[in-house]
């Protein structure tokens, strides 16, 4: 592209580095910001710089937080003896949004993926094992994606955790609510038949 | 959404204000930036704040520029007596990218649009008329979009400029290169027949 201004080119270049944002979209976003009040643009720029500079990770569960201990880990009404293991902060938000979970979390920071060179030591797995070893835990829920990496990570975690004799569960997999049988893939449908649940349980 | 951090919520909120960016995309972009080095994130934030603070508009053609007179208006090799009138800086870039135009520009800053409450006085039309009145001009090319607003603006500009007895042209409209006749709309196809050009001209 042929920019009339170095400042414009710089700003567009920075936006175009974001995932899924090309040069044209970047230009559109930058021109949008140019039409805003200077104060608004400064607030935009500062919000992201401040975030990067001041953000902390909870020392217990490794979730993104404004403090050294996150709101969930420090909340008195959360059940500290149930730990839900998730990949990242987005999954914490997804589970929180359901309003169905009242335990605490453990954020792994990724999934085991030999293809991407991510091994167990790159994730907060040792700290999970230590947490289970040093604090009373009643149940560990593995809420990881139903992908190859997710399954690998679940298998590894299960091996590391089974000696503690604490129930290790995984979230249920099956046909989504509103999902039609004829469009379900055969693996999901097959598993959902094998792991069928009594009607009373399903209706709880 | 249920954010674990006020800083995170702030940054996501700022991104979600951008056009075409929803909460989920905003979160994805912010988490992407969180994984970058602090220096990189500062460069990102500062690029946009600096742009808004330091950007100028060329006093001759109103294009976005780092200086009071833009690079095009101050270039000695550009033909100053041919003015291409465009809507905004994106159109300047589009025409520049063709490498086919060597005159100068006049950026209107929008199109006349009664629906959006934009009248001639909201655009740099008076300054165009003054420019034509005070400097020697050989041709005025109206390179505006082929929309209702574009046509309205062209009609208004033509009325304002015709007394100067300077040739006023519009960019050619017709079937795009690579376009197939059977998929062309009838208005475009009809006009392209009416405004047909000698083969020698088309091949130039």
**pLDDT band at residue A136 under the 50/70/90 scheme:** very high
A1, A45, A52 member nearest B48 (Cβ)? A45
Looking only at the bridges linking them, the beta strands covering A56-57 and A103-107 are unpaired
Average pLDDT over residues B193-201: 80
Residue A190's H or E segment, with its range, is: helix A186-194
What is the CATH T-level fold of the domain A74-203, as seen in this structure? Answer: Dna Topoisomerase Vi A Subunit; Chain: A, domain 2 (3.40.1360)
Cβ neighbourhood burial of A85 (10 Å; 0-12, 13-18, 19+)? buried
What per-residue confidence (pLDDT) applies to A184? 83
For residue A96, what is the nearest residue in chain B, using CA coordinates? B2
% of chain B with per-residue pLDDT over 90: 72
% of chain A with per-residue pLDDT over 90: 72
**pLDDT band at residue A181 under the 50/70/90 scheme:** confident
Higher pLDDT, B43 or B174: B43
- A window 151-170, beta carbon within 8 A of B: none
**Is residue B141 scored above 90 in pLDDT?**
yes
**pLDDT band at residue B200 under the 50/70/90 scheme:** confident
A193: closest CA of chain B, how far (Å): 33
Residue pair A76/A102 in contact by the 8 Å Cβ criterion: no
Q: How confident is the model over B85-129, as pLDDT tens digits?
A: 999 999 999 999 888 899 999 999 999 999 999 999 999 999 999
- A window 4-63, beta carbon within 8 A of B: 4-8, 10-11, 13-15, 17-21, 25, 27-34, 36, 38, 41-55, 63
**pLDDT band at residue B180 under the 50/70/90 scheme:** confident
Higher pLDDT, A60 or B184: A60
How many CB atoms are closer than 10 A to CB B81? 13
What per-residue confidence (pLDDT) applies to A204? 65
What integer best gives the mean pLDDT of chain B?
90
**Is residue B84 scored above 70 in pLDDT?**
yes
Which of B43, B45, B91 is the best substitution to test chain A (most A C-beta atoms within 10 A)?
B45
Partners of B53 on chain A (C-beta within 8 Å) are: 38
Residue pair A153/A112 in contact by the 8 Å Cβ criterion: yes
Cβ contact (<8 Å) for B64 and A89?
A: no
Cβ contact (<8 Å) for A90 and B64?
A: no
**Is residue B202 scored above 90 in pLDDT?**
no
**Is residue B79 scored above 90 in pLDDT?**
yes
Residue pair B52/A34 in contact by the 8 Å Cβ criterion: yes
Strands (E), A60-162: 64-65, 79-86, 103-107, 139-142
**Is residue B134 scored above 90 in pLDDT?**
yes
Of the candidate ranges A100-109, A112-121, B147-156, B190-199, the one whose mean pLDDT is the lowest: B190-199
Quick check: do B6-54 and B74-203 share a fold?
no
A6, A15, A54 member nearest B66 (Cβ)? A6
**Domain regions of chain A by residue span:** 6-54, 74-203
What per-residue confidence (pLDDT) applies to B204? 65
Higher pLDDT, A90 or A195: A90
The residue to which tokens 């009339």 are assigned: A4
Cβ neighbourhood burial of B8 (10 Å; 0-12, 13-18, 19+)? buried
Cβ contact (<8 Å) for A55 and B89?
A: no
**pLDDT band at residue A63 under the 50/70/90 scheme:** very high
CATH number of B6-54: 1.10.8.420
């Amino acid at each position: 592209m042929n920019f009339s201004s170095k400042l414009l080119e710089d700003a567009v270049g920075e936006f175009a580095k974001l995932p899924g944002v090309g040069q044209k979209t970047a230009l559109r976003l930058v021109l949008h910001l140019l039409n805003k009040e200077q104060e608004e643009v400064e607030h935009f720029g500062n919000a992201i710089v401040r975030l990067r500079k001041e953000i902390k990770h909870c020392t217990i569960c490794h979730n993104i937080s404004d403090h050294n201990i996150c709101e969930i880990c420090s909340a008195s009404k959360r059940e500290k003896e149930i730990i839900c293991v998730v990949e990242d902060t987005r999954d914490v938000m997804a589970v929180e949004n359901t309003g169905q979970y009242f335990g605490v979390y453990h954020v792994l920071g990724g999934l085991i993926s030999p293809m991407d060179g991510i091994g167990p030591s790159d994730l907060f797995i040792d700290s999970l094992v230590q947490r289970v070893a040093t604090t009373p835990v009643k149940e560990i829920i593995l809420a990881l994606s139903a992908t190859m990496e997710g399954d690998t990570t679940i298998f590894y975690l299960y091996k590391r955790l089974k000696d503690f004799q604490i129930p290790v569960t995984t979230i249920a997999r099956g046909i989504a609510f509103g999902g039609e049988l004829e469009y379900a893939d055969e693996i999901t449908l097959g598993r959902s038949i094998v792991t069928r649940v009594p009607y009373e349980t399903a209706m709880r």
